Amino acid sequence: MVYNNILETIGKTPLVRLNNVVSDIPATVYAKLEAFNPGLSAKDRIALHMIERAERLGQLKPGGTVVDATSGNTGFSLAMVCAIKGYKCVLTVTSKVSEDKLNNLRAMGAEVVLCPQEAKPTDPRSYYRRAEQLAKDIPNAFYVNQNFNADNGDAHYLSTGPEIWEQTHGRVTWLIGSASTGGTLCGSGRYLQEQNPDLKVVAVDAFGSVLKKYHETGVYDENEIYAYRIEGTGKNIIPANIDFEMIDRFVKVTDKDSALRARELARKEGILAGYSSGATLQCLQQIKDELTPEDVVVLIFADHGSKYVSKIFNDEWMRSQDFLPAEEGSEELKKATSDIQKALC
Ligand SMILES: Cc1ncc(COP(=O)(O)O)c(C=O)c1O
């Protein structure tokens, strides 16, 4: 099979059975490996669909500029599509995003505008407001607005959902994935629930995100917001692409558990997946008591672990976050031992 360009290789990602990390789970568990997309994440699907829809609607014209606020993956995919189609790509990114991801964006030809992570969504310095403003200031620019652009969810309704249905021969009973814009989980979930209205959809959320509380109470509570480490899970706004009605439950997972699960996935399944995939596997652990042997669970693993080699796959970083114990024989351990000895004397 020969492809005319890289964009034709987007989608049709494999569904792979998990074995060693789910030996205590009473169900069949598969992972939808979105890292098999050429841009190494599920966001390739939405980038292509949103840009092609904008072309068809006349919102994006030859020589134009594509602008969005993105935590990294969507930006990379948008830049990839722009490279093929000849558009400029300007991305606003929060200062939380890893150096690896920033370098990847620049490698793909994008112009990156760094915005402070602590800026509230309404703050003109926030990455949302900066993108909006840049799209107004740059002539012939298209503001993608992935959180509120319905073509985001539609991309998954048209591709990821049908793929999962076909790959499980209609046997899928649970769909679990991280929610950020909500496009991946709700787009594919919408298609799957149309085929099987009993399908359970579980959204993975982070401590520091507003989504779970909003789902349970209808209240957008700013007090829920604080900095956290997982990328691509949870939100500090309420995106239009999250269909709260179709989601059975939001489950919060910790930064530490999620990082350890991602590492476990690599070592026990040979799958180097990203931080939010670790979060998704952790979520499965937290709901496992509700599963039966008849259940077929699909976990959406949104991106590739190579994007996090300087973070969750770096022991030093893990120790700096207290996600791993201090190294045996390390300075910290020696100091702690000597402090204890002094106190005992
Ligand atoms: C690594 C990663 N996982 C999961 C998600 C969640 O996908 P969605 O925005 O479709 O909810 C994202 C999106 O930002 C992501 O970058």
Residue with tokens 């995939």: 277
Decide whether any atom of ligand 1 lies within 6 Å of the 28 Cβ.
no
Q: What is the mean pLDDT of residues 169-176?
A: 98
What is the three-class DSSP state of 292?
Answer: coil
Identify whether the C-beta of residue 182 lies closer than 8 Å to the C-beta of residue 153: yes
Nearest Cα neighbor of 173 from 189, 157, 184 is: 189
Strands 111-115 and 65-69: unpaired
pLDDT tens-digit series, residues 94-153:
887 778 788 989 999 999 999 998 898 899 999 999 999 999 999 999 999 999 999 999
Fold of 43-143: Rossmann fold (3.40.50)
The pLDDT of residue 121: 85
Q: What is the mean pLDDT of residues 278-301?
A: 98
Query: Which atom of ligand 1 lies at the shortest distance from residue 183's CA?
Result: 10
Residue 193 backbone phi and psi in degrees, to 5: -70, -25
Query: Which atom of ligand 1 lies at the shortest distance from residue 146's CA?
Result: 9
Judged against a pLDDT cut of 90, whether residue 11 lies above it is answered with yes
More confident site: 70 or 11: 11
Q: Which amino acid is at 180?
A: S
Q: How far apart are CA 250 and CA 295, in angstroms?
A: 19
Domain ranges of the chain: 6-36+156-320, 43-143
Decide whether any atom of ligand 1 lies within 6 Å of the 75 Cβ.
no
Fold of 6-36+156-320: Rossmann fold (3.40.50)
Q: Whose CA is nearest to atom 1 of ligand 1?
A: 232
- The DSSP code for 246 is T
What is the three-class DSSP state of 109?
Answer: coil
What is the three-class DSSP state of 303?
Answer: strand
CA distances to 48, 64, 145, 295 from 290, rounded to whole Å, are: 37, 50, 36, 10
Decide whether any atom of ligand 1 lies within 6 Å of the 98 Cβ.
no
> 180 CA to middle of ligand 1, Å?
5
> 73 CA to middle of ligand 1, Å?
8
Decide whether any atom of ligand 1 lies within 6 Å of the 179 Cβ.
yes
**Which two three-digit tokens encode residue 153?**
């969810």
Nearest Cα neighbor of 69 from 145, 123, 170 is: 145
What is the three-class DSSP state of 35?
Answer: helix
Decide whether any atom of ligand 1 lies within 6 Å of the 180 Cβ.
yes
The pLDDT of residue 152: 98
Say how many residues make up the chain.
345
From the candidates 43, 101, 200, 212, which is the catalytic residue? 43
**Which two three-digit tokens encode residue 140?**
């012939």
Q: Which of 180, 246, 280 to mutate to test the pocket of ligand 1 (most atoms within 8 A of CB)?
A: 180
Judged against a pLDDT cut of 70, whether residue 336 lies above it is answered with no
Cα–Cα–Cα angle for 172, 178, 184, rounded to 5 degrees: 65
Residues paired with 91 in a beta bridge: 68, 112
- The DSSP code for 325 is P
Q: How far apart are CA 26 and CA 13, in angstroms?
A: 25
Q: How far apart are CA 62 and CA 69, in angstroms?
A: 22
Residue with tokens 């599920």: 42
Q: What percent of the chain has pLDDT over 70?
A: 94
Q: Cβ neighbours of residue 52 under 8 Å, at least 6 residues apart? A: none
Judged against a pLDDT cut of 90, whether residue 52 lies above it is answered with yes
Decide whether any atom of ligand 1 lies within 6 Å of the 77 Cβ.
no
By the 10 Å C-beta count (0-12 exposed, 13-18 middle, 19+ buried), 180 is classed as buried
Question: Is 43-143 the same fold as 6-36+156-320?
Answer: yes
The pLDDT of residue 159: 98
Q: How far apart are CA 335 and CA 340, in angstroms?
A: 9
Q: Whose CA is nearest to atom 16 of ligand 1?
A: 232
Decide whether any atom of ligand 1 lies within 6 Å of the 183 Cβ.
yes
> 123 CA to middle of ligand 1, Å?
23
What's the mean per-residue pLDDT of the chain? Answer: 94
Q: What is the mean pLDDT of residues 248-255?
A: 98
Query: Which atom of ligand 1 lies at the shortest distance from residue 302's CA?
Result: 3
**Which two three-digit tokens encode residue 260?**
């350890």
* 143-173 exposure pattern, b = at least 16 Cβ within 10 A, e = fewer: bbbbbebebbbbbbbbbbbbbbbebbeeebb
Q: Which of 34, 73, 78, 304 to mutate to test the pocket of ligand 1 (most atoms within 8 A of CB)?
A: 73
Is 43 annotated as catalytic?
yes
pLDDT tens-digit series, residues 197-236:
999 999 999 999 999 999 999 999 999 999 999 999 999 9
Q: What is the mean pLDDT of residues 168-189?
A: 98
**Which two three-digit tokens encode residue 275?**
């931080």
Residue with tokens 């979060």: 279
Q: Which of 100, 233, 244, 301 to mutate to test the pocket of ligand 1 (most atoms within 8 A of CB)?
A: 233
